[in-house]
Chains A and B, each alone.
Chain A
Amino acid sequence: MPETLDNPEVPVPEELKGQVKITTLDRIYNWGRRSSVWPMMFGLACCGIEMIAAAASRYDLARFGMEIMRPSPRQTDLIIVSGTVTKKMLPQIIRLYNQMPEPKYVVAMGACACGGGPFKEGYSVVSGIDKFLPVDVYIPGCPPTPQALLHGLITLQKKIDKQSIRKVKWYQKHESREVPVPLLGPDLIDPRDFPELEECEPSES
């Protein structure tokens, strides 16, 4: 058991130290979750290849309890957005995200997923998945090496460690984390922009 599980605030009598561990509900709950994060088998571009490499024997995601990559979003805890997000692909990514059960995490892997990357200027590239999804960890690099990805996932585990059951969003009432799915029109249309789109006469920029 990792030492983070022990609750140092509660004194344990010396003679019981070998037999008794005291922890908090949050810690044991987070420990369970952080040690079995199942990512979605979902590669977008070049970074996806590095993600496969990270899952293979040299870097071995299994050491972090993350080796079980599920192709179905219903069985996953983590979506690693690994590569360039294009406008054509975005609706599918959002749908996949919406289908994931809570608690769910988003890792933006690589420059493209973080902020558009070298292809940012292009007409069909979304400048960062964080325009649409709540990203938990950003991993810069083009592409990040598998070790950098592992570092990012460790960073995610640290984030999970700090969460508290009482405060996390997915146990709050009336709290939906569903993201409206964008539409493909003459260009990408985000439903959240509808009011603005109706209000002002759009002009070509």
Chain B
Amino acid sequence: MYGWGILKGLGVTLKHFVETFWDDLRWLGKRYFNEEALAVRQGTKARGIFTVQYPEEKLTLPEEFRTIPFLVYELDEHGEKQYRCTACGICSKVCPPQCIWIQRSTDPETGRPVPSPIEFSIDIDMCMNCGFCAEFCPFDAIKMDHDFELSSYDRQATHIYNKEQLSKPVSYYASIRPTNYAREEEARAAKAKSKAEKATG
């Protein structure tokens, strides 16, 4: 019959249409703004309306999610920021669009390089969010952020991030990437232990 194919197609559309109401009923009005429902709604078993009501609710970001990099610091007993970065320059060398600039400190007396950065800048208008800097950093000092809400009205003044803007505490890192953090801390502890053993033995 001519037109049967179209009718069959419209049947599919109708099915989708009905499914949305069916799923609403199933959740008894608790379909939105509900963590549990969001997980089901966005998972592989999702039926019905697929929308995530951003900004009120946000998609759960996977641990590996990456936007722009940030520098990890730890607070020491005086409340000073202790950067893990040693200004070794690997991140700036591995960066594909070359958007990382690092200024290494030098000892004012000897003129020798000191393993810490005076300034660390990333031009986020060039950064391609590839994650190489974080991947190849031997000191776990630079990591990829989860914060994607970065829109601004101006870029000339703000889009080259300096060290201050890039800094985030290690607790923040632990909160966005718990598994990676736990694994790395373990490795660091093991390394420190073997180093200590070597020093004593």
Contacts and interface: CB of A to CB of B under 8 A. Distances in A.
A115 B96 contact: no
A117 B126 CA distance: 4
Interface in A123-175: 128, 130, 135-142, 144-145, 147-148, 150-152, 154-155, 159
Contacts of A57: 49-51
A31 interface: no
A115 B150 CA distance: 15
Contacts of B159: 114-115, 138, 140
Contacts of B129: 141-142
A141 B126 contact: no
B188 interface: no
A155 B148 CA distance: 13
A121 interface: yes
B97 A115 contact: no
Nearest to A58: B50
B95 to A, nearest CB: 10
B152 interface: yes
A135 B156 CA distance: 12
Contacts of B18: none
Interface string B88-109: 0000000011100000000000
Interface residues of B, number: 31
Contacts of B128: 111, 117-118, 142
A140 B127 CA distance: 9
Interface stretch (B53-61, B73-81, B134-142): B53-61
B151 interface: yes
B125 A147 contact: no
Interface string A10-29: 00000000000000000000
Contacts of A60: 51
B124 interface: yes
A145 B58 CA distance: 12
Contact of A138 (B50, B58, B148, B151): B151
A-B CB proximity, top 9 nearest? A115-B125, A118-B97, A152-B151, A118-B128, A148-B148, A155-B151, A142-B128, A151-B149, A114-B125
